[in-house]
């Protein structure tokens, strides 16, 4: 790629890592940035976001073997996708006036606040990781969630949902990545109350992105049961071995806790149960076990156990289609 750019008139400075490229982009005037779509320790989208902030007027081109149309967040798109292997006649040409003869621009202070519809949370985390930054990202003043990084490494993530239920770690990060547009601030680093992320930042982002699909399916399960049983007082979905459900509707925590206790109570006599419904003195309870030790549970007024169980089973069946 370097040789192809030189053949069409570019003077090329090549960098093996993103951090060095960003440092020089702050200090020196470049005519353009050419970025491989496959980077080590960073993503083209994160590099693009930094480049736009440091040098917004400098064209940014992504070099890609395959489709790279998804690079960048909303409002942060490359100027063009350059196909690999390169074809000289299709490569961008340098302007006649070289920026190497222009005085170096002053280093810009990066903004410490913004909105996730302009800079996605994933890109923001990658930008901080690339520069080994230590900071706390507060979403909606910290009331919706917080992300802690030390030296570019994710330490803790927490999402605060309905009823002030907190989801932490990589799963919490997935919820934060799936938020709509929300204000953020990058604040000075402080130690988190505990460390909940124990993998590399890039790995955490990849796993959190995967969990977004699961979380959306969970919300679909809750909505399906709530529509079928409007009188349900609580609905919850989550993993059987966790203390708290992943998602709730109404008083879902009570339903989940009761369902876990009930399944454990019948295990000695019935073994692992997949579907169970009971009528109590004050309420009905139903639970369905599915997938990898996951539970969908619900409570309703007394006399509704069979209806609840049918709604839970139907919701799980439909989610598998």
Percent of the chain with pLDDT over 90: 39
What pLDDT shows up at residue 99? 38
Greatest extent of the chain over all pairs of C-alpha atoms, in Å: 84
Distance of CA 277 to the CA centre of its chain: 36
Query: Are 157 and 128 in contact, with CB atoms under 8 Å apart?
Result: no
| Closest to 3 in 3D by CA, of 100, 85, 110 | 85
Reported as a pLDDT band with limits 50, 70 and 90, residue 198 is very high
Instruction: Tell me the C-alpha distance between 192 and 208, whole Å.
Output: 19
Q: Report, in angstroms and rounded to the nearest whole number, the Rg of the chain calculated over CA atoms.
A: 25
Reported as a pLDDT band with limits 50, 70 and 90, residue 197 is very high
Distance of CA 235 to the CA centre of its chain: 25
* pTM of the shown model: 0.55
Contacts with 68 (C-beta within 8 Å, 6 or more apart), sequence order: 37, 44, 62, 78, 81
H-helix or E-strand spanning residue 49: helix 44-54
Contacts with 74 (C-beta within 8 Å, 6 or more apart), sequence order: 117, 118, 120
H-helix or E-strand spanning residue 289: strand 283-290
Our CA angle for 30, 56, 14, nearest 5°, is 30
Instruction: List Cα–Cα distances, 43 to 47, 125, 134, in angstroms.
Output: 6, 11, 19
Residue pLDDT, tens place only, 67-100? 666 565 556 788 888 888 888 888 888 764 333 3
Strand positions, DSSP E, 109-208? 113-115, 135-139, 145-150, 153-160, 166-168, 183-188
Q: Which residue has the higher pLDDT, 11 or 58?
A: 58
Count of alpha carbons within 13 Å of 102, Cβ hemisphere only?
A: 11
Instruction: Tell me the C-alpha distance between 149 and 195, whole Å.
Output: 10
What pLDDT shows up at residue 259? 93
Our CA angle for 240, 242, 247, nearest 5°, is 85
Evaluate if residue 191 carries a pLDDT over 60. yes
Our CA angle for 254, 258, 262, nearest 5°, is 170
């Amino acid at each position: 790629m370097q040789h192809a750019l030189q053949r069409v008139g570019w003077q090329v400075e090549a960098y093996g890592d993103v951090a060095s490229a960003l440092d020089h982009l702050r200090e020196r005037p470049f005519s353009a940035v050419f970025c491989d779509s496959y980077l080590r320790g960073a993503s083209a989208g994160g590099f693009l976001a930094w480049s736009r902030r440091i040098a917004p007027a400098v064209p940014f081109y992504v070099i890609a073997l395959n489709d790279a149309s998804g690079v960048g967040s909303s409002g942060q798109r490359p100027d063009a996708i350059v196909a690999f292997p390169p074809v000289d006649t299709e490569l961008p040409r340098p302007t006649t006036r070289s920026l190497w003869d222009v005085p170096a621009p002053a280093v810009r202070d990066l903004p410490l606040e913004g909105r996730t519809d302009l800079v996605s949370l994933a890109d923001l985390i990658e930008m901080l990781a690339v520069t080994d930054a230590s900071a706390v990202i507060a979403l909606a003043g910290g009331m919706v969630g917080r992300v802690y990084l030390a030296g570019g490494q994710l330490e803790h993530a927490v999402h605060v949902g309905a009823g002030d239920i907190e989801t932490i770690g990589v799963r919490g990060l997935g919820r934060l990545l799936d938020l709509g547009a929300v204000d953020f601030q990058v604040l000075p680093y402080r130690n988190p109350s505990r460390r909940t992320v124990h993998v590399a930042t890039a790995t955490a982002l990849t796993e959190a992105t995967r969990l977004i699909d699961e979380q959306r399916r969970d919300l679909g399960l809750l909505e399906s049961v709530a529509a079928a049983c409007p009188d349900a007082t609580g609905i919850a979905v989550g993993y059987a071995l966790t203390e708290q459900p992943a998602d709730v509707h109404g008083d879902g925590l009570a339903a989940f806790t009761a369902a876990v206790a009930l399944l454990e109570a019948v295990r000695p006599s019935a073994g692992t149960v997949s579907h169970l419904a009971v009528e109590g003195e004050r309420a009905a309870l139903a639970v369905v076990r599915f997938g990898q030790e996951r539970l969908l549970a619900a409570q309703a007024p007394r006399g509704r156990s069979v209806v609840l169980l049918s709604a839970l089973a139907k919701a799980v069946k439909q989610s598998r289609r």
